[in-house]
Chain A
Amino acid sequence: MKSRKSAWKNIRRSPYQALAAILIMTLTFLAVSFFTFLLVGSSQIINYFESKPQVTAFFKNEAAQEDINTLENKLSDTGRVSAIKFVSKEDALKIYKEQNKNDPLLLELVTADVLPASFEISAVKIEDLAPISDTLKKSSIVSDVIYQKDVVSTLTAWTNAIRKIGIALIILLSFVSIFVMATIIGMKISQKKEDIEIMKLIGATSWYIRWPFIMEGVFYGTIGAVIGWTISTGTLLYATPFLESFLKGIPVLPVPYVNLLILLGLEIVLAVFLGIASSFVAVLRYLK
């Protein structure tokens, strides 16, 4: 209680130092939040592509139901396929209508006849995509084969790059914030050197003297984390409608509130850790 009070007094009496400490922490947690969004989002997109029907085979108009059934059996027998879904011309039209329900002009132009029937095939593993696609291409009733292997590998490459940059940036910013905060807290310790000496002579334990400074570090960290999280989450929520239309059909957004709160919780834990770490650096350096 007492140490919280003196920590608060320290903060109030040097607002610019407090502001600097909070800003550097805010910056760190902005980076943490944004990169978390990017990483979680992109891995969800990858998962989506990996789990969704990965090969789509469009049938020629003249394809007979019998041939289609034979092809389905043939594919199932390879053991590489986890699911096959037949999409008839009518189903295709439904999907088309759903995707373009806001654009009446596009809807008018299209009838079921124009759209091909298709197979949506999920592979067991992503490596199975190539052989499945080969089998389909050989079939005489198939007009076209599309599969997202390239999409996935491009995305994976991007995600890896984002992850590396993100982790490097977060580590760098964490160090910067630890040192900036340690310097600020160190300055405060130096300012209070006389008080500290008096308290020691009166019989204060080292921890009695250290606690307010450690609390101060934790305070800066926590406030920085909350501000950083608020800004980034606000931005994400604001951008959600736009991003949703951009990521048409990929169920990444909106991010559930629970997940955002979990992120906040984790960031606060990290903030407390950074606060304690930097106060400790300062305390060990300036309070012997």
Chain B
Amino acid sequence: MIKLDKVSKKFGTGVFGLSDVSLVVDRGEFIFLVGPTGSGKTTILKLLIRDILPTEGSVVVSDFDVVNIKKNNLPILRKKIGVIFQDLKLLFDRTVLENVSLPLEVAGKKPEEAIKLVDDVLEQVGLLDHKDKFPVQLSGGELQRVAIARALILSPEIILADEPTGNLDNDTSWEIVNILTDINKKGTTIIMATHNEDVIKTLGKRVVHIEKGKIVKDEKGHSSFKASEGQVKKDSKKHKEEDKKEKDEVS
């Protein structure tokens, strides 16, 4: 599914972003990339969508040789990968609906078809009521969910989430994580870069530790997550209700 083989990335400044990294991720897996800022988590995600090229080594994603991929195939590869960028990369002059439907537009889907799909996805992330708002009108958690919705819309094989809970409070973080675990259950491979120890421990998925551009530890997931899953869901439901109450009070 995803295979990095002895990948190194040396930046123009001479600094190694990654050195000799090998990593295999199977179809349907959920893995965490963990490490301090600047350790190379984002670099790995960028390599997978060929936003940057490795200096050495090979990268294979969904049977595509990412390094030597033909120009025409790059859009095909990128449509198979939904990315939740660290800086979200939303278009601020477009509404939620337009942002989320952008990948459909790019994929050449018909508008009628697109509207249905967008509604489904917005429902899934709980943003259906906000679809005509612009990004500036949304909270941090809502923006994050817009980014998730956009990453989901093409039903990609892989989702790369770069610190999707980075600057969110605990409750909102859990909502985001729950959405991702739901998607994962439907068979989508998920790679999530994060610092959130709480999430990592509770979910009990595979954790790849990176430090200074090297993989220092690769912990397989353990079974505790199933027990906690119910808890997570309940929590999230409770949070949603609280959220709603809070909003009602505000309005």
Whether A203 and B89, one on each chain, are in contact in the complex, defined by CB atoms closer than 8 angstroms, is no
Question: Which A residues between 170 and 216 are near B, CB-CB below 8 angstroms?
Answer: 194-195, 197-206, 208
Map CB proximity to B onto A95-107 as digits: 1 under 8 Å, 0 otherwise.
Answer: 0000000000000
Question: Do B102 and A202 touch (CB < 8 A)?
Answer: yes
Among A194, A203, A206, contact of B103 (Cβ-Cβ < 8 Å): A203
- Identity of the chain A residue whose Cβ is nearest the Cβ of B110 in the assembled complex: A1
- Which residues from chain A contact B51 at a C-beta distance below 8 Å? 201
The CA of A202 and the CA of B75, in the complex, are separated in Å by: 8
Q: Which of A2, A194, A197, A203 contacts B79 (CB 8 A)?
A: A203
Known: A2-B105, A199-B102, A199-B106. A205 touches B89 (CB 8 A): no
Q: Which chain A residues have a beta carbon within 8 Å of chain B's beta carbons? A: 2, 194-195, 197-206, 208
Chain B residues near A204 (CB-CB < 8 A): 75, 106
Q: Mark B76-116, 1 if CB is under 8 A from A, else 0.
A: 11110001010001010000000000110111000000000
Name 7 interchain pairs, CB-CB below 8 A, sorted by A: A200-B78, A201-B51, A201-B89, A202-B78, A203-B78, A205-B75, A208-B75
Q: Which B residues are in CB contact (< 8 Å) with A201?
A: 49, 51, 78, 83, 85, 89
**A198/B103 in contact, CB under 8 A:** no
10 smallest A-B Cβ distances: which pairs? A203-B78, A203-B79, A204-B106, A203-B75, A205-B75, A198-B89, A202-B103, A202-B106, A195-B91, A203-B106
20 more CB-based (< 8 A) A-B contacts, given A194-B89, A202-B78 = A2-B105, A198-B102, A200-B78, A201-B49, A201-B51, A201-B83, A201-B85, A201-B89, A202-B79, A202-B83, A202-B106, A203-B77, A203-B79, A203-B103, A203-B106, A203-B107, A203-B154, A205-B106, A208-B75, A208-B106
Do B75 and A198 have beta carbons less than 8 Å apart? no
Q: What bracket does the count of chain B residues touching chain A fall in?
A: 20 to 34
B residues in contact with A2, CB < 8 Å: 105
Considering the complex, give the chain A residue whose CB is closest to the CB of B88: A198
Which chain B residue lies CB-closest to A195? B91
Q: Within 8 Å CB of B91, what residues of A?
A: 195, 198
CA distance A203 to B72 in the complex (A): 11
Could you tell me the distance between the alpha carbons of A199 and B51 in the complex, rounded to whole angstroms? 12
> Which residues 149-187 of B have a CB within 8 angstroms of A?
150, 154
Q: State in angstroms the CA–CA spacing of A208 and B102 once bound together.
A: 12
- Shortest CB distance A188–B (Å): 13
Chain B residue at minimum C-beta to C-beta distance from A3? B105
Give A205 to B103 CA distance when docked, in angstroms.
11
Could you tell me the distance in whole angstroms from the C-beta of A101 to the nearest C-beta in chain B? 67
Complex Cα distance, B103 from A197, in Å, reads 13
Q: Smallest CB–CB gap between A193 and chain B, Å?
A: 12
How close is B87's CB to chain A, nearest CB, in angstroms? Answer: 10
Select from chain A the residue with minimum beta-carbon distance to B51. Answer: A201
- Min CB distance A215 to B, Å, is 15
Q: Shortest beta-carbon distance, A11 to chain B, in Å?
A: 15
Closest to B76 in A: A203
* In the complex, chain B residues 137-159 whose Cβ is within 8 Å of any chain A Cβ: 150, 154
Closest to A202 in B: B103
Residues on A with beta carbons closer than 8 Å to the beta carbon of B89: 194, 197-198, 201
